Amino acid sequence: MAVSKNAWLTGLRYRGGDNMLVWMLHRISGLAMVLFVGAHILSSFFTQQLGSTWGIALNTIYESPYFQIFLYFFVIFHVINGLRIILLDFFPKLLEYQRELTWLEWIIFIPIFGLSVFITVIKILNGG
Amino acid sequence: MKVTVKILRYDPEKDQRPHYQTYQVDAEPTDWVLDLLERIKGDQDGSLSFRRSCAHGICGSDAMRINGMNRLACKTLLQDLHSHTIVVEPLLGLPIIKDLVVDMEPFFDHYKSVMPYLVNDEQAPMRERLQSPAERERFDDTTKCILCAACTTSCPSFWANGDYIGPAAIVNAHRFIFDSRDRASSERLRILNGQFGVFRCHTIFNCTQACPREIQITKAIGEVKKAIATGNLD
Ligand code: FES
């Protein structure tokens, strides 16, 4: 019997713990960014080339503060996690401390993301 | 105490697909999971298939998924699982032959592909090829591998593509690449630089976590990647 070759489905059957979670988040945030940038390009295209209201509709979604909070999460996470992996690639010795590095990653992430959310929420409260 | 053992069973002659079967077993907290499997096979259901040989964590026969994670059944104490329900499943990413027995052939093919043996055609000295303790230390960690396949079958890159050479093969290549007596490092690095070589590793760390010998696998892979990138074995 051939075992499922789909890594995503297989991943659900394995308890990889926080390491695997971070990797999955990295993948998801990568895809999410493609989606965000895609929406941005599409909305510009609709508005400027076709003069269609579709662009405005997309823009409203894209620029809404709720959407922005997701965007901040994915972009900031992807950047910091990417930097962690680059660091590990350059200095394999650090791989012994990968647990600590993952913690460090979240310690850096939380204030940056927190500040972004804080500013966005203030903006919402001030009426956008 | 009574524990519930849920085993993923599959008999290619009878079953369409794998299914779970549940057994109740009397056990002590200090029992190994392998003890439970032996008890089930001996007392309740002789048709249960699994591999084991040494029962002391050295032959690498009984790697399986225990409560979702790859471990050796003979090295996993019940009390460390903190649960009265134990789920035992075969390794992922390799075809199931029967119950907990998977086909290890693809795994060993990858292992063989990295030339896991000393290559040195130079005239051997009278007594031995000398090596300093520091030189020996350089690859000490990767000599511990018992080829149980817990690492390779925990790797999402391997699940996604069985052609990926996998952590175990890289660990065993590392063992010779960094051995001062060996002369085939560049050949091994060339193999590992291939399409299905080390760069399929995305630093996920499941392998390091799964290794029953506590080998720093991701670190070994990182060192091999760096050696390929820099052409330097330091
Ligand atoms: S039976 Fe030999 S390693 Fe478990």
Beta carbon pairs, A and B, within 8 Å: 88
Query: Is the CB of B57 inside a 6 Å radius of any atom of ligand 1?
Result: yes
Cβ of B93 within 8 Å of Cβ of A10? The answer is yes
Q: Which of B92, B64, B75 is nearest to B5 (CA)?
A: B64
Tell me which of B38, B50, B58 to substitute to probe ligand 1's pocket, judged by most ligand atoms within 8 Å of the beta carbon: B58
Q: pLDDT band for A63, please (50, 70, 90 cuts).
A: confident
In terms of domains, do B110 and B226 share one? yes
Q: Which atom of ligand 1 is nearest to the CA of B53?
A: 1
For A17-125, CATH number?
A: 1.20.1300.10
Q: What is the rounded CA–CA span in Å between residue A19 and residue B150?
A: 16
A1: pLDDT strictly greater than 70:
no
Please report the DSSP string for chain A in residue order: -PPP--HHHHHTTS--THHHHHHHHHHHHHHHHHHHHHHHHHHHIIIIII--HHHHHHHHHHHSHHHHHHHHHHHHHHHHHHHHHHHHHH-GGGGGGHHHHHHHHHHHHHHHHHHHHHHHHHHHHTT-
Ligand 1 center–CA A76 separation, angstroms: 44
Kindly identify which residue of chain A lies nearest to residue B96, measuring between CA atoms: A1
Query: Is the CB of B35 inside a 6 Å radius of any atom of ligand 1?
Result: no
A4: pLDDT strictly greater than 50:
no
In terms of domains, do B135 and B157 share one? yes
Calculate the average pLDDT of chain A.
Answer: 87
User: How far is the CA of B121 from the CAs of A21, B50, B125, B173, B183, in angstroms?
Assistant: 47, 42, 12, 18, 8
Kindly give the interhelix angle for A65-90 and A53-63, rounded to the nearest 10 degrees.
Answer: 70
User: What percent of chain B has a predicted confidence (pLDDT) above 70?
Assistant: 100
Nearest residue (CA) to ligand 1, atom 3 = B57
**Model confidence pLDDT, tens digit, residues B146-157:** 999 999 999 999
B184: pLDDT strictly greater than 50:
yes
Residue pair B146/B224 in contact by the 8 Å Cβ criterion:
no
Q: What is the rounded CA–CA span in Å between residue B156 and residue B149?
A: 14
User: What percent of chain B has a predicted confidence (pLDDT) above 90?
Assistant: 97
B83: pLDDT strictly greater than 60:
yes
CB contact B157 to A (< 8 Å): yes
pLDDT of residue A3: 44
Of B59, B80, B102, the position where a domain reaches its end is: B102
Residue pair A49/A107 in contact by the 8 Å Cβ criterion:
no
Cβ of B219 within 8 Å of Cβ of A20? The answer is no
pLDDT of residue A126: 86
**Model confidence pLDDT, tens digit, residues B194-204:** 999 999 999 99
Calculate the average pLDDT of chain B.
Answer: 96
In terms of domains, do B170 and B118 share one? yes
Domain count, chain B: 2
Q: What is the ipTM of this complex?
A: 0.81
Cβ of A7 within 8 Å of Cβ of B156? The answer is yes
Compute the half-sphere exposure of residue A25: CA atoms within 13 Å on the CB side of its CA. 19
Cβ of A89 within 8 Å of Cβ of B203? The answer is yes
Of B102, B117, B149, the position where a domain reaches its end is: B102
> Two tokens at A115?
């500040």
**Model confidence pLDDT, tens digit, residues A12-41:** 789 888 888 999 999 999 999 999 899 888
Of B70, B102, B134, the position where a domain reaches its end is: B102
pLDDT of residue A128: 59
Query: Is the CB of B59 inside a 6 Å radius of any atom of ligand 1?
Result: yes
pLDDT of residue A2: 42
In terms of domains, do B114 and B143 share one? yes
**Model confidence pLDDT, tens digit, residues B8-65:** 999 999 999 999 999 999 999 999 999 999 999 999 999 999 999 999 999 999 999 9
Q: What is the rounded CA–CA span in Å between residue B82 and residue A98?
A: 25
Q: Which atom of ligand 1 is nearest to the CA of B148?
A: 3
Q: pLDDT band for A5, please (50, 70, 90 cuts).
A: low
CATH number at residue B10: 3.10.20.30
Residue pair B88/B69 in contact by the 8 Å Cβ criterion:
no
Burial class (CB within 10 angstroms; exposed 0-12, middle 13-18, buried 19+) of B34:
buried
Radius of gyration over every alpha carbon of chain A, rounded to an integer in angstroms: 19
Q: Which atom of ligand 1 is nearest to the CA of B74?
A: 4
B136: pLDDT strictly greater than 50:
yes
CB-closest option in A19, A89, A96 to B204: A19
Query: Cα–chain-centroid distance for residue B161?
Result: 17
CB contact B185 to A (< 8 Å): no
